Amino acid sequence: MARINANYGKLPGSYLFSEVGRRVREYKAAHPEAEVISLGIGDVTLPIAPAVIGALHRAVDEMGSAESFHGYAPDLGYPFLREKIAEKDYMERGCGISPDEIFVSDGAKCDCGNIQEIFGTDNTIAVLDPVYPVYVDSNVMAGRTGDYDREKDRYDGVIYLPCTKENGFVPELPEEVPDLIYLCFPNNPTGSVMTKAELQRWVDYANSHGSVILFDAAYEAYISEPGVPHSIYECEGAENCAIEFRSFSKTAGFTGLRLGFTVIPKELKAGGEALWPLWARRHGTKYNGAPYIVQRAGEAVYSPEGQLQVKEQAAYYMENAGIILEGLRQAGYEASGGVNAPYIWLRTPGNMTSWEFFDRLLAEANVVGTPGSGFGPGGEHYFRLTAFGTRENTIKAVKRITAI
């Protein structure tokens, strides 16, 4: 008799953004006249940059001729893209990452969710609290956690690293040593960052305890301040303890095109075993690679025009972030983030729960945000707004929020 993976039963309710979507649909059905603005799910609104569109068109034409057609992509991705990534994202920042340590994929969400497969189910995990929910949920599905404790809103066996106002949303090193440590900086949802010195402490900690850091740098393109590392490999010794995830989604507006990559240095080991061959085996077995045309589009992001255009887009979103942050602060909200990340993290007024504030904002301002509690128990009484809206909607949304 077939049986399900009972670990799925430990997951409470639906995925955070599915629940947000459900409530918005319900509200719109009841109020068809409402003009609802979404600063909730972190999806981009600007169209793809012209340099990237040009590369896509050329690649599509290549697919239409026998001489230049491309079938299955190489397991790790096309060398033309991996070479560009190694040069621009790593070598130019002084990080010794080579093209064959880069695994091209269709995005960071899948890689962050799938990477745990190459680690035994007996590994303990540590996650920031609050944080992007995929890290915990994918480990729950794999049976690496205990049961969900409804009262504490926590999974047994998971080491939560509190990110609070008091510690500037940057966690302390844990006393109980985890085997796998998920770090996400610039952080979703708080928008906080670690300085290079702070991240170096985590790298040293992982190296001295034999832990592996899973570093999600999906928002590195939004870093504006000096002294904030764009890659964990800027820290000394990180190639011995860290895997890094990157995404083109927020860097170049590829949420609909789909492209990302994972870096696994050849020297990285867990329990004396190299991790690179395991991920290569997994990639080759279960994954067909990002489409040729999308990898060509990714290559164009690194061209001089591409770089100019995507930087302009990031600047546009960060101006939105500034508008939200200023507007909220002037209205008396306690708000942070929005300087090195496209997220603004605000304390709910009057000690409302995150979902109470969500419902109130939807009903009274017709603005959608994301309840902080959806990112972990430490997110309760907080709320996330994204800077990825259009300028017009961002200004309108801030006016409406501050009016209630």
- CA dist 62 and 54 (Å) reads 13
Task: Quote the least distance from Cβ 219 to ligand PLP, whole Å.
Answer: 7
Is the backbone peptide bond immediately before 189 cis, with ω within 30 degrees of 0? Answer: yes
- SS3 call for 188: coil
Q: Which is nearer to ligand PLP, 101 or 220 (CB)?
A: 220
Q: Which long-range contacts (CB under 8 A, 24 or more apart) does 85-88 make?
A: 85/246, 85/261, 85/302, 87/302, 88/302
Task: Quote the least distance from Cβ 247 to ligand PLP, whole Å.
Answer: 3
Q: Which is nearer to ligand PLP, 222 or 233 (CB)?
A: 222
- 282: amino acid identity, one letter: R
Percentages (nearest 5) of helix, strand, coil residues in the chain: 45, 15, 40
CB 46, CB 253: distance < 8 Å: yes
Task: Quote the least distance from Cβ 229 to ligand PLP, whole Å.
Answer: 16
Structure tokens at 258: 């789909």
Q: Which is nearer to ligand PLP, 9 or 47 (CB)?
A: 47
Q: Which is nearer to ligand PLP, 17 or 27 (CB)?
A: 17
Closest residue by beta carbon to ligand PLP = 107
Task: Quote the least distance from Cβ 255 to ligand PLP, whole Å.
Answer: 6
CB 101, CB 240: distance < 8 Å: no
Task: Quote the least distance from Cβ 105 to ligand PLP, whole Å.
Answer: 8
Q: How many residues in the chain?
A: 404
DSSP state of 92: G
Q: Which is nearer to ligand PLP, 107 or 389 (CB)?
A: 107
Task: Quote the least distance from Cβ 180 to ligand PLP, whole Å.
Answer: 16
Q: Which is nearer to ligand PLP, 145 or 188 (CB)?
A: 188
Binding site for ligand PLP (CB under 6 A): 42, 107-109, 112, 132, 184, 188, 216, 218, 247, 249, 255, 260
Spatial CB neighbours of 310, under 8 Å, sequence gap ≥ 6: 49, 221, 251, 252, 253, 301
Q: Which is nearer to ligand PLP, 218 or 323 (CB)?
A: 218
Tokens 């080579």 — which residue?
98
Task: Quote the least distance from Cβ 252 to ligand PLP, whole Å.
Answer: 11
Query: How far apart are the two ends of the chain, measured CA to CA in Å?
Result: 56
